Structure 1
Amino acid sequence: MSTPSLNALPIRRLTHRDLRACADLAEDRGWPRDEHKWGLLLTAGTGYGIDDPQGGLLSTSILTSYGPQEAPDLAAVGMMLVAGRHARQGVGRRMMRHLIDIAGGTPLTLHATDLGRPLYEEVGFKAVGQARVLRGHFVPDETSTLGTRPAVAEDLPAILRLDNAVFGTDRTHIITRLPAFADQLRVAESDGEITGYAAAWPTTDTHAIGPLVAHDLQTAKALITSLAAGTDRPLRTNTDTRHEKFVSWLEDRGLASRISGTLMAHGIPQLPGDWTRNFTPLNVATG
């Protein structure tokens, strides 16, 4: 199929009925299917896609907005995929420009692979940080899990207040879905105050850790240790490389660095929030 024909294909909104086609496209590009994650993204975010005349989807993307519904102050771009047989024909560039237009001036963020970074730079994104992916079976050390416990419904207001302060904008529509989405949701507590929270949710073959928000390094360690005790699967994290001591500790605990990504932003010089307490995102697609 020629490029002009591809450019003529409409970009449409995706729905839950497209979940399997989204997972098929991810698999086509060598990504895990992770239908569980797609389900969350298509519910909490807005999906866009291009139908392949030969069947299925030839491109996807997800835009997850944060802040006031009528005037978001940040949106994350994720799951930007183009089928291998249609690669390098301008589809990704067209999709990204569509998302920027849809955002209407709302600042954007995304995690870029080395392969995708040149395209994002071309449409105006700038690097603002680095993330490290770590994966492996967690080997516990002497870190105490004292002060951590399973989250209960009554913790939700405190979790939301902490998350808003750390993330820098409201993502209630994401956080309130964690109890149903995650296999584990735990909090850290000190003197009756929630000082951190973290979730572990299932991927194809791991438990992904995220979000992980904590007042300090020791609290982050305690939350990870307590989550690891509740699973036999390998753990997977995406961690801001500025948390050097945390990354080193995870490596000492058996998690190997797999790949790295570049955190990028469009329309703002830096991302909002307090990175010192924001250890891992829910996943890279949600920012």
Structure 2
Amino acid sequence: MPSFPQTLKTSDDGIVLQAMTADDLPAAHGLSQEVRWPHRLADWEFLLSFGEGLVARSDGEIVGTAICWPWGDHTATVGMVIVAPHCQGRRIGQRLMLGLLDRLEGRSVLLHATAEGRGLYERLGFIATGEVRQHQGKAVQAPLIALEPGLRLRPLSRNDTERLIALDTAACGMPRDALIRHLINKADTVVLDRDGEAQGFAMMRRFGRGRAIGPVIAPDAEGAKALIAYWVNQCVGKFVRVDVDFASGMTTWLESLGLQRAGGPLAMVRGPALQRDADVRLFALASQALG
């Protein structure tokens, strides 16, 4: 997909939409701090490295951001849609979204909507498909999760890469090869194994105030719990965040591990529904932006 032109559009009210560059990230980080989002500058750098974004400027000041991540030829995710509080009510978020969606025409587009953004996304044709529960806090020791015979947890092997990509594609309905390859190199990974073949996995990395667990992919909830519990037990007393599918039924269990609910965005899709494999499931997101 070609990149955005440097200047996409200038409106009558002086709002200019431009392609986001690495030079814009310190200001974008400051904007996320202003609206109390936890992202570090390093988190912004990570997110832009896989996608392309837009910034909205008013008199040279960045007052809005949005990033999209095309996955393959038919799917994409959208996130980091932020408008400065002093500029809200001027349809800046709508203009940023229309700029992204014009680039993503013909794709199924997934996003996770805050309560404030839901109305905008509904007007743009997004339909709610589920809920996410954000859990975070200082982790406490997780009890042992008994796996069914034949399953075990093991470290990542150098031969696991293609299998993990295939599991992620099946569970998410999107071919996120570049993301999974990057996380294999930069995050920590534990694998749910049967007879030498990965059946699921969970990744943990630095994010925001501490560490984030995700994506977590497994054939069932018990496998997902075992994967999450492994990382929680590596982080006892530390700040941990995990964003789970509400339909997984893990909210009470996560709260027992010190990870209290801190929000609940809606999963929304514009376009055809994502085609996910019924035999493997995404239990925890890589992030709300990436899905």
TM-score (norm 1): 0.89
Asked if structure 2 preserves the Cα contact closer than 8 Å seen for 1:199 and 1:210, the reply is yes
Q: Deviations over 1:136-174 (max 9, x none)?
A: 223311225882223132211111121222222311011
Higher helix share: 1
Structure 2 equivalent of residue 222 of structure 1: 226
Corresponding position: 1:78 with 2:79 = yes
What SS class does the counterpart of residue 147 from structure 1 fall into? strand
What SS class does the counterpart of residue 269 from structure 2 fall into? strand
Structure 1 equivalent of residue 275 of structure 2: 272
C-alpha separation between the residues in 1 aligned to 2:156 and 2:46? 20
Residue identity matched to 1:238: D
C-alpha separation between the residues in 2 aligned to 1:7 and 1:156? 49
* One of 20, 33, 37 as aligned partner of 1:14: 20
What SS class does the counterpart of residue 143 from structure 2 fall into? coil
Corresponding position: 1:101 with 2:102 = yes
C-alpha separation between the residues in 2 aligned to 1:37 and 1:206? 12
User: Any residues of structure 2 matched to 1:110-189 within 5 Å, and which?
Assistant: 110-136=111-137, 137-144=139-146, 147-182=152-187, 184-189=188-193
Q: Classify 1:86/1:93 alpha carbon distance in 2 versus 1 (closer, same or farther; 3 Å).
A: same
Higher strand share: 2
Q: Between the two proteins, what is the percent identity of the paired residues?
A: 32
Structure 2 equivalent of residue 51 of structure 1: 57
Structure 1 equivalent of residue 248 of structure 2: 243
* One of 190, 207, 212 as aligned partner of 2:194: 190
Structure 1, unpaired ranges of 5+: none
What SS class does the counterpart of residue 96 from structure 1 fall into? helix
Q: Deviations over 1:224-269 (max 9, x none)?
A: 121123224222111111101x22321232221111111111112x
Distance apart, 1:180 and its partner CA: 3.7
What SS class does the counterpart of residue 186 from structure 1 fall into? strand
C-alpha separation between the residues in 1 aligned to 2:263 and 2:31? 21
What SS class does the counterpart of residue 75 from structure 1 fall into? strand
C-alpha separation between the residues in 2 aligned to 1:112 and 1:30? 16
Distance apart, 1:17 and its partner CA: 2.2
Structure 2 equivalent of residue 259 of structure 1: 263
What SS class does the counterpart of residue 241 from structure 2 fall into? strand
Q: Deviations over 1:100-133 (max 9, x none)?
A: 1111221111100111101111111111111111
Asked if structure 1 preserves the Cα contact closer than 8 Å seen for 2:202 and 2:214, the reply is yes
Residue identity matched to 2:119: P
> What is the Cα-based RMSD across aligned positions, in Å?
2.0
Residue identity matched to 1:30: R
TM-score (norm 2): 0.88
C-alpha separation between the residues in 2 aligned to 1:36 and 1:151? 24
